[in-house]
Amino acid sequence: MSVQQKSDVQWQKELSKQEFEVLRRKGTEARGGKYDKFYPKEGHFVCRGCKTPLYSANAKFNSGCGWPAFDKCYVDAVKTSIDMSAGMKRVEILCSACDGHLGHVFENEGMTETNERHCVNSVSVQYMKAPMEQDENRVL
């Protein structure tokens, strides 16, 4: 996927203040956002910034962390980057199409079969009711 190039001014016109802060400035929303305890049986989640499909509803699970959690993503929809901003090494997850900050991915917690937990900001994604048939996989 090619990265969508837009200026901060363009992004600010398209996103709410909070969406801009999280997606473009790598902020974190408070726990308990819109999709934290939302578990649809079908559908998928897209990037709030560019509408690229990222996660199936089936990939979402209850991790109890306070943010939406997914254990896999659509192939090539999410990319990673090392994040040292909190004084420790974490793996940031970003939309592959627009470089929007989604959150962080954690490994080896034993919560699901994939052993990954994508801890995603609710404001970084949008739920779509329509089913999406696309291959899914771990990001790490």
Q: Is 73 a catalytic residue?
A: no
Q: Are 121 and 45 in contact (CB under 8 A)?
A: no
Sequence-ordered list of residues with C-beta below 8 angstroms from that of 80, at least 6 positions apart, any chain: 91, 92, 93, 94, 105, 139, 140
How is residue 133 written in tokens? Answer: 């048939």
Per the residue annotation, which of 50, 95, 98, 119 is the catalytic one? 119
φ and ψ of 20, to 5 deg? -65, -45
Q: What is the spatial distance between Cα 24 and Cα 39, in angstroms, rounded to a whole number?
A: 26
> Could you list the active site residues?
119
